């Protein structure tokens, strides 16, 4: 190994920094080579890091404090000697390998680079710590240069540049033998890129130690969520009971929380291979506990919850020895103090280590987590939230099969003096003092909220995998028997199956008389309206449960995952709000349902399966529960029925009641009274006519709003064609009339382009003509018009959507010559709403070969009847009498205005809209005057 680079005389730490610089290039390559032993790669990397750190520190050659701190780790004389000894043994092995290859050109270069990496790392460590490693020979950086060029001849230019640069800096800056030189003093490591013969660099993640705290703070939303996460871990450990004890003072930086469970515990190997591995896949792989419980924790984030709650942790766990040594003997493992704050100080996760003790004991199995130096204040409000969360954690309707699981929230040590609240008050909240007439042995046991069987309406049933619901609805307020429900919800675009779903909904009316009655029937005595509503608010919401445990935050007061309140605001007479229902929705495990829990444990991923779950519940509410409830309330006189139309108001404006009184007046006063009545009647009628005109304009605009998406879609296609072709013509124009072959080809295309643009313009004109009746312009006087023209224009608006779902329109020939007198806008409004409604249900029900038929009958000499019929499932008989009521709808997101608007529009033209009898689908009859 001969080199011709002139050796320079450099100050002490500049020389060490240069040697470390040469070693760094090979150390990175060596560290990326997974074929090399991990211990060798670690030794080389650590040696170079130590040399760089020592050169940066500068000062005298001896370590004043006897050790060197490197990113949270301390290296003393023993550590440095151990690394140097290891490098020496690896150097011998590498030399032997090189000798055996005997100059083999195929394998020699990689081996030379390996030998160079080890030797340069050893040289850098010896140069930085000569006293520690016992190297009394002077530094020989010429030997270092020879090694570097031997490993890769292409590095010669880099080494020359480094030498020139460090020499220039040392002169300019006046460096002495105690001046520290950091690695960045040399500039980029590879100013001209790595050698072409070297493997491409590989990047790997190396987690920083503070990731434990970062993930804990981000994944665990709050202290209550952290407690629940640890409770779930106890359940997964087959515990029959978990006790959570709070030790005051419950202020940040003080206090303790003690978790004790009687589960199967963790052995030392469990702690090493599972608990100490963040995001371990152990639970995800196992799926079930040893006793057959479905595992709740599959994210491997339990230890983050402990870090979220406090600054320190003591862990004691007793488990069956593996393999069992003798009957009755167990392995007890203890981590005396795990200081989570160290993770903020150490550089990398594998730099953090904790001492552990193991002993053999006689059991029983258990796990104890003592968390102290709390991170949060636990005031009464926070404890109340936690208690509420724990009460909602376990499903109140969960099957009693299998081993029970008890949660005890022990607040017995908390009182007004040390905590600001009386812990015994939470015993009363849980109803824990008595159980079955006896004093409970666990007064602080957390019990789920009771299922209020005293609800006004109850729904129970199950959705199978295909989306078919089989169940019952009981209107308890009417004292009725349960009525069967069978509903099929087709899978929509953007949805994926979500497995079997169990549904139980308890629904309440919230007027004063009903809510007081509900509280009394539930056994809460004679509560005032405010107290009764507060009670209902505490249990309201639709919660999602899996394996008997609630999936947070569904069911929380702030969470309205079904957007029930938003729908109720739009239609309060029909829709059920979030605070009117206490429901449980039980879903399958992740494999069966694809309802995936977020890593943060704060809800489910909003994927296609979650959208399907929402659709199932909302459709059940919209198509069955809400309309049945409304029908009962109207029949019972609890709701007034909103009728649509000006007809009744116009009749009242004629003041027929005043005319009856007129007959009782003395004859002398009748003439004057008649004038007043006529004048006021005309005034009111005129005012109502103005209102009717305004309503017609608004209803036309509302109708246009329902189909605006279709209009934009149809208009975009011809508009895009025109824009594209205009751009082409602009590009061609400068050379369009040249004599080149390309220009001649372009000119030949111009007529085709113009024809296409003319066709696109005609399409836009046709679209605008179809929209004109819905534009909301002033109407003027009624006129005679052709029915077929309005029908064709309306169908045109739905052409794109009809093609997308394969729907056919069938228009009878008899409509071609029919004329009626009225407003074309009114017929267009009615037809638009009827067709839009029909297309929704045909698509929603996945009807095969869907079609809408429009026919006419002019059997009556003075009237014409137009029939609009689809081939869907029709309107359920039980809801037909409510069909035209304002606010009534069977659509999950419907407003209940469409059919009401359609009926009112036809009335304004002197006609009538009704639901006609039909054997197939829904059939509507529009009757209009001929003249």
Coil, helix or strand for 560? Answer: coil
**Tokens 């812990």 appear where?**
423
- Spell out the residues 6+ positions from residue 867 whose beta carbon is closer than 8 angstroms to its own: 853, 854, 855, 856, 857, 916, 923, 924, 925, 926
Q: Give the integer Cα–Cα distance in Å for 532 and 511.
A: 11
Q: What is the pLDDT of residue 138?
A: 62
| Cβ–Cβ under 8 Å, residues 115 and 95 | yes
Q: Give the integer Cα–Cα distance in Å for 898 and 496.
A: 30
- DSSP class of residue 889? -
Task: Give Cα 689 distance to the centre of its chain.
Answer: 51
Asked whether the predicted pLDDT for residue 641 surpasses 70, the reply is: no
Asked whether the predicted pLDDT for residue 400 surpasses 50, the reply is: no
Task: Give Cα 649 distance to the centre of its chain.
Answer: 50
Q: CA-CA distances (angstroms) from residue 453 to 489, 520, 529, 732?
A: 28, 12, 19, 78
Q: Give the integer Cα–Cα distance in Å for 803 and 370.
A: 66
Over the range 149-166, which residues count as b (16 or more CB within 10 Å of their CB) and which as e? bbbbeebeebbeebbeeb
Q: What is the pLDDT of residue 166?
A: 86
Asked whether the predicted pLDDT for residue 650 surpasses 70, the reply is: no
Asked whether the predicted pLDDT for residue 511 surpasses 90, the reply is: no
Q: Residue 371: which pLDDT band, with cuts at 50, 70 and 90?
A: very high
Asked whether the predicted pLDDT for residue 36 surpasses 90, the reply is: no
Q: What is the Rg, in whole angstroms, of the alpha carbon atoms belonging to the chain?
A: 41
The closest of 405, 403, 404, 412 to 444, measured between CA atoms, is 412
Coil, helix or strand for 557? Answer: coil
Task: Convert the pLDDT of each residue in 47-64 to its tens digit.
Answer: 999 999 999 988 887 776
Asked whether the predicted pLDDT for residue 409 surpasses 90, the reply is: yes
Q: Is 560 exposed, middle or buried (0-12, 13-18, 19+ CB in 10 A)?
A: middle
Task: Convert the pLDDT of each residue in 693-730 to its tens digit.
Answer: 666 555 555 565 566 666 665 666 677 778 877 888 88
Q: Give the integer Cα–Cα distance in Å for 167 and 531.
A: 84
Q: What is the largest CA-CA distance in the chain?
A: 140
- Spell out the residues 6+ positions from residue 565 whose beta carbon is closer than 8 angstroms to its own: 577, 578, 579
Q: Residue 433: which pLDDT band, with cuts at 50, 70 and 90?
A: very low
Q: CA-CA distances (angstroms) from residue 433 to 154, 427, 451?
A: 83, 6, 19
**Tokens 């340069």 appear where?**
120
Q: What percent of the chain has pLDDT over 70?
A: 80
Mean pLDDT of the chain: 82
Q: Residue 189: which pLDDT band, with cuts at 50, 70 and 90?
A: confident
Asked whether the predicted pLDDT for residue 202 surpasses 80, the reply is: no
Q: Give the integer Cα–Cα distance in Å for 878 and 870.
A: 19
Beta strands in 217-281 (DSSP E): 241-247, 256-261
Asked whether the predicted pLDDT for residue 395 surpasses 60, the reply is: yes
pLDDT (average), residues 389-402: 69
- DSSP class of residue 113? H
The closest of 374, 887, 293 to 630, measured between CA atoms, is 887
Q: Give the integer Cα–Cα distance in Å for 302 and 54.
A: 40
**Tokens 């990731």 appear where?**
211
User: Is the peptide bond preceding residue 635 cis, with omega within 30 degrees of 0?
Assistant: no
Cα dihedral across residues 471, 475, 479, 484: positive or negative: negative
| Cβ–Cβ under 8 Å, residues 788 and 815 | yes
Q: What is the pLDDT of residue 719?
A: 76
Per the confidence metrics, is the pTM higher than 0.85?
A: no
pLDDT (average), residues 268-276: 83
Give the lowest-confidence range in 24-28, 342-346, 896-900.
Answer: 342-346
Asked whether the predicted pLDDT for residue 594 surpasses 70, the reply is: yes
Q: Give the integer Cα–Cα distance in Å for 73 and 67.
A: 10
The pair of structure tokens assigned to 276 is: 């100490």
Q: Give the integer Cα–Cα distance in Å for 701 and 699.
A: 5
Q: Give the integer Cα–Cα distance in Å for 903 and 798.
A: 21
Q: Give the integer Cα–Cα distance in Å for 197 and 110.
A: 10
């Amino acid at each position: 190994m001969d080199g011709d680079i002139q050796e320079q005389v450099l100050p002490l730490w500049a020389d060490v920094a240069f040697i470390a610089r040469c070693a760094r290039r090979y150390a990175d390559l060596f560290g990326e080579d997974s074929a090399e032993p991990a211990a060798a790669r670690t030794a080389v990397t650590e040696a170079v890091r130590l040399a760089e750190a020592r050169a940066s520190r500068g000062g005298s050659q001896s370590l004043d404090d006897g050790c060197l701190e490197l990113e949270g780790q301390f290296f003393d004389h023993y550590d440095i000697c151990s690394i140097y000894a290891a490098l020496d043994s690896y150097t011998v092995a590498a030399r032997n390998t090189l000798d055996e290859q005997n100059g083999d050109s195929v394998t020699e270069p990689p081996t030379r680079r390996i030998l160079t990496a080890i030797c340069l790392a050893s040289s850098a460590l010896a140069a930085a710590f000569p006293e520690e490693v016992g190297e009394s020979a002077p530094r020989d950086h010429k030997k270092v240069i020879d090694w570097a060029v031997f490993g890769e001849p292409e590095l010669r230019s880099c080494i020359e540049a480094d030498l020139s640069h460090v020499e220039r800096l040392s002169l300019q800056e006046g460096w002495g033998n105690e001046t520290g030189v950091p690695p960045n003093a040399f500039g980029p490591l590879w100013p001209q890129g790595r050698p072409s013969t070297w493997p491409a660099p590989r990047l790997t993640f190396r987690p920083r130690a503070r990731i434990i705290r970062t993930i804990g703070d981000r994944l665990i939303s709050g202290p209550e969520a952290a407690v629940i996460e640890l409770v779930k871990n106890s359940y997964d450990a087959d515990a029959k009971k978990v006790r959570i004890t709070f030790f005051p003072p419950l202020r940040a930086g003080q206090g303790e929380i003690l978790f004790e469970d009687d589960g199967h515990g963790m052995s030392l190997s469990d702690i090493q291979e599972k608990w100490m591995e963040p995001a371990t896949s152990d639970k995800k792989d196992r799926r079930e506990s040893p006793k057959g419980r479905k595992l709740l924790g599959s994210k491997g984030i339990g230890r983050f919850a402990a870090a979220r709650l406090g600054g320190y942790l003591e862990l004691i766990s007793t488990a069956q020895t593996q393999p069992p040594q003798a009957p009755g003997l167990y392995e007890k493992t203890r981590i005396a103090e795990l200081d989570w704050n160290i993770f903020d100080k150490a550089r990398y996760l594998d730099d953090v280590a904790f001492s552990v003790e193991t002993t053999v004991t006689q059991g029983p199995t258990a796990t104890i987590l003592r968390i102290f130096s709390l991170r949060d204040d636990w005031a009464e409000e926070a404890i109340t939230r936690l208690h509420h969360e724990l009460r909602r954690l376990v499903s109140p309707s969960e099957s009693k099969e299998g081993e029970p699981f008890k949660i005890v929230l022990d607040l017995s040590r908390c009182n007004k003096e040390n905590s600001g609240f009386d812990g015994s008050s939470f015993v009363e909240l849980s109803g824990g003092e008595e159980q079955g007439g006896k004093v409970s042995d666990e007064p602080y046991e957390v019990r789920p909220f009771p299922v209020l069987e005293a609800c006004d309406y109850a729904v129970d049933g199950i959705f199978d995998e295909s989306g078919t619901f089989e169940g019952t609805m009981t209107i308890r307020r009417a004292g009725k028997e349960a009525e069967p429900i069978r509903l099929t919800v087709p899978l929509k675009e953007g949805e994926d199956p979500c497995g079997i779903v169990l549904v139980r909904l308890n629904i309440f009316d919230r007027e004063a008389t009903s809510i007081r009655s509900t509280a009394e029937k539930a056994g809460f005595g004679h509560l005032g309206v405010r107290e009764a509503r507060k009670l209902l608010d505490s249990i309201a919401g639709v919660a999602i449960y899996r394996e008997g445990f609630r999936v947070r935050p569904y069911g929380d007061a702030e969470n309205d995952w079904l957007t029930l309140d938003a729908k109720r605001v739009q239609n309060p007479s029909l829709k059920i709000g979030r605070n009117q229902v206490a429901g449980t929705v039980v879903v399958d495990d992740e494999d069966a349902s694809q309802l995936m829990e977020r890593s943060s444990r704060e809800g489910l991923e909003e994927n296609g399966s979650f959208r399907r779950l929402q659709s199932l519940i909302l459709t059940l509410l919209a198509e069955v529960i809400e309309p049945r409830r409304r029908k009962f309330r109207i029949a019972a006189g609890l709701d007034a029925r909103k009728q649509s139309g000006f007809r009744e108001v116009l009749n009242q404006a004629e003041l027929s009641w005043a005319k009856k009184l007129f007959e009782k007046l003395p004859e002398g006063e009748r003439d004057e009274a008649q004038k007043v009545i006529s004048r006021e009647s005309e005034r009111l009628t005129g005012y109502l006519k103005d209102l009717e005109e305004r309503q017609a304009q608004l209803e036309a605009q509302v109708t246009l709003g329902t189909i605006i998406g279709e209009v934009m879609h149809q208009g975009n296609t011809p508009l895009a064609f025109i824009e594209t072709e205009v751009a082409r013509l602009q590009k061609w124009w400068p050379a369009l009339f040249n004599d080149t072959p390309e220009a001649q080809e372009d000119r030949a295309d111009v007529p085709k382009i113009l024809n296409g643009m003319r066709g696109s313009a005609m399409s836009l004109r046709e679209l605008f003509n179809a929209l004109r009746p819905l534009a909301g312009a002033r109407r003027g006087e009624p006129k005679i018009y052709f029915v077929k023209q309005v029908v064709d224009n309306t169908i045109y608006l739905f052409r794109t959507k009809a093609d997308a779902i394969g729907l056919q329109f069938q228009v009878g020939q008899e409509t071609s010559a029919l004329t009626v007198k009225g407003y074309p806008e009114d017929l267009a409004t009615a037809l638009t709403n009827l067709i839009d409604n029909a297309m929704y249900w045909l698509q929603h029900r996945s009807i095969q070969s869907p079609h809408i038929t429009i026919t006419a009958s002019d059997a009556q000499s003075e009237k014409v009847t137009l029939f609009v019929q689809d081939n869907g499932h029709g309107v359920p008989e039980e809801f037909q009498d409510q069909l035209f009521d304002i606010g009534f709808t069977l659509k999950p997101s419907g407003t209940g205005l469409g059919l009401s608007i359609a009926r009112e529009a036809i009335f304004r033209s002197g006609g009538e809209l009704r639901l006609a009898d039909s054997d197939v689908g829904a059939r509507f009859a529009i009757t209009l005057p001929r003249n």
